Structure 1
């Protein structure tokens, strides 16, 4: 539903309906997404901030387990990425379900606490 509400034509319709009803604004919230439409001020779309999943240990970034393909959607508690230290793979777990929007370069040397990937709410 929120995708439809971010459509420019839908936002213009909402603004026209607000003016016809002598209202100045409307706010619609669903999950982490908030849309505010103000008459005369256009529309503002506030997307949730991406959650950064950090490296639990220093090593080399891996976007997926060597036996699996990297996924763009992860579930809460799922291994969203890995850090390789020699032959050992240390998982970086997703704190919540979401869509992966950015990753460290495959094989890049990263330190403890460095951003391994970014995760946005679905």
Structure 2
């Protein structure tokens, strides 16, 4: 089975409309040499990132396990901000245990992708970090 053409504007429009109708915040699809990210804004508008070069410059910090997500107050109040590799950006709580969520690479933290105090699953996107330009 061959994959869908992620550069086809008809496919992108159909996916955007389906996400907006379903009330989904966004989707990211990766195939061999293509990557597509569609983010639905709270206004209902969808923005599309399909440029592979831009996508490779963005690092998504993901949840290492399921639990209750809490971001660092300093991170959320001063976006965008520079972060260093290994810097603690937030925590995943499982009962009384808090496990840190760290930046895997240095860069500019541009977005917090999960709400404070929400339950997140394994691999859930939490932070978007762009490479320094």
TM-score category by the smaller chain?
0.5 to 0.7
From 61, 69, 77, the equivalent of 2:74 is 69
Q: Does 1:116 align with 2:126?
A: yes
Give matches, 1:17-28, under 5 Å: none
**Is the contact made by 1:56 and 1:90 (CA closer than 8 Å) also made in structure 2?**
no
> Where in structure 2 are there 5+ consecutive unaligned residues?
1-52
Count of residues paired in the alignment? 74
**2:110 counterpart residue number:** 101
Q: Structure 1 residue 55 and structure 2 residue 60: aligned? A: no
TM-score scaled by length of structure 2: 0.49
CA RMSD in angstroms comes to: 1.8
Q: What secondary structure is seen at the aligned counterpart in 1 of 2:74?
A: coil
Q: Quote the offset at 1:69 in angstroms.
A: 2.5
* TM-score in terms of structure 1 length: 0.53
Aligned to 2:97: 88
Q: Moved runs in structure 1, 4+ residues, more than 4 A?
A: none
Compare CA radii of gyration and give the structure with the larger one: 1
User: Where is the helix percentage greater, Structure 1 or Structure 2?
Assistant: 2
